[in-house]
Amino acid sequence: MATSAEQASTAGYETIVTSVSDGLGLITIDRPQVRNALSKTVLAEIRSVLDAWEDDEAVRVVAFTGSGEKAFVAGADISQLANYDVAYGLAGAMQRLFDKIEEYPKPTIAGLNGIALGGGLELAMSCDIRICAGTARFGLPEPNLGVIPGAGGTQRLSRLVGTGRAVEMVLTSRLLDAAEAERFGLVTTVVPGEQLLDAVRNTAATIASKGPLAVRLAKMVIKQGAETDQKTGQMLELLAQTLLYTTADKAEGVAAFLDKRPAEFQGR
């Protein structure tokens, strides 16, 4: 899915394709034969890329998408799920990876090109922004297999769409179409499928044009503030703003505005 302007690579990876272009690090889950299902290898390779990109200044925003047009991620690899036991469940590999994505210091975008079920929807919900094609479908069908969403799905879904809708979605395992997902607040934006990657890139470019320290702290304050009371959240906001007042990026942003020129932020 990479364009000629991107540097795409599968080096060292069996199940994903990565590319970096114009500040966007794109991870494409590349298992179309099983609708991009999340195997142990997929999870390990995503973690490896995220570790490598965390301190890479060329990557300002990270996005995830799936190979092909039918599936973002259709869930966990059922052939492996059959062998999961208590020890594997308690280790929580998928939950820990999605926590890492949610807490990642750089903004994350899910480019939902098709169905996002089970672990695929849980991956998308761990991202900061979710942009989907009009043909995308969403659901948590785990109860059909005698299990529940176990990678943050029960918790993130209720925070995004409300407890009542979350309970109904999980207990019935019904699918939402793109319009309903947008109305519920599960996705941020719906675009025609052929425009999806352009929408992801445009969103990433807009974010990358901002002060990187401001972006990082804004994400942190919003996420942490949502888990506490308003007064505590506003104190986090105040402290973050006070810290930003001391940075070279703030000085550059103000100078660029007054000089009527684009800012050249350095992340300092």
Contact status, residue 29 vs residue 16, Cβ threshold 8 Å: yes
Residue 69 Cα distances to 36, 94, 119, 132, angstroms: 11, 24, 18, 11
Look at residue 264 and tell me if it is in a domain.
no
How many folded domains does the chain comprise? Answer: 2
| pLDDT tens, position by position, 196-241 | 999 999 999 999 999 999 999 999 999 999 889 999 999 999 999 9
Look at residue 93 and tell me if it is in a domain.
yes
| Same structural domain, 114 and 235 | no
DSSP 98: H
What's the pTM value of the predicted model, to 2 decimals? Answer: 0.90
* pLDDT score for 10: 57
| pLDDT tens, position by position, 235-259 | 999 999 999 999 999 999 999 999 9
Alpha helices per DSSP H over 173-265 = 178-184, 196-208, 212-225, 230-244, 248-259
| Same structural domain, 127 and 79 | yes
d(CA 217, CA 237): 9
Query: Where in the sequence numbering do the catalytic residues fall?
Result: 122, 142
d(CA 23, CA 34): 30
d(CA 17, CA 2): 9
| Same structural domain, 81 and 30 | yes
Residue 4 Cα distances to 1, 8, 111, 130, 243, angstroms: 10, 9, 19, 25, 40
Look at residue 265 and tell me if it is in a domain.
no
| pLDDT tens, position by position, 47-97 | 999 999 999 999 999 999 999 889 999 987 777 777 777 887 777 788 999
| Same structural domain, 191 and 245 | no
| Same structural domain, 50 and 166 | yes
* pLDDT score for 150: 87
Look at residue 78 and tell me if it is in a domain.
yes
Contacts of 52 (CB under 8 A, 6+ apart): none
Q: Which two tokens stand for residue 152?
A: 């943050």
Torsion on CA atoms 63, 66, 67, 70, rounded to nearest 10: -140
Look at residue 1 and tell me if it is in a domain.
no
pLDDT for 131 beyond 50: yes
In this prediction, residues 165-193 reach a mean pLDDT of 95
In this prediction, residues 188-192 reach a mean pLDDT of 96
d(CA 135, CA 196): 11
Helix or strand run (H / E) with residue 8: strand 7-9
**Domain containing residue 240: CATH number:** 1.10.12
Q: For residue 81, report the phi and psi dihedrals to the nearest 5 degrees.
A: -55, -35
**Domain containing residue 195: CATH number:** 3.90.226.10
Helix or strand run (H / E) with residue 9: strand 7-9
| Same structural domain, 73 and 87 | yes
| pLDDT tens, position by position, 77-87 | 777 777 777 88
Q: Which two tokens stand for residue 22?
A: 């114009």
CB neighbours of residue 13 within 10 Å:
18
| Same structural domain, 221 and 201 | no
Q: What amino acid is encoded at 164 in this protein? A: G
| Same structural domain, 55 and 117 | yes
Look at residue 267 and tell me if it is in a domain.
no
| Same structural domain, 69 and 57 | yes
Look at residue 2 and tell me if it is in a domain.
no
| Same structural domain, 201 and 246 | no
- What range does the domain containing 254 cover? 212-259
* pLDDT score for 6: 46
Look at residue 112 and tell me if it is in a domain.
yes
| Same structural domain, 201 and 116 | yes
| Same structural domain, 64 and 127 | yes
Contact status, residue 67 vs residue 37, Cβ threshold 8 Å: no
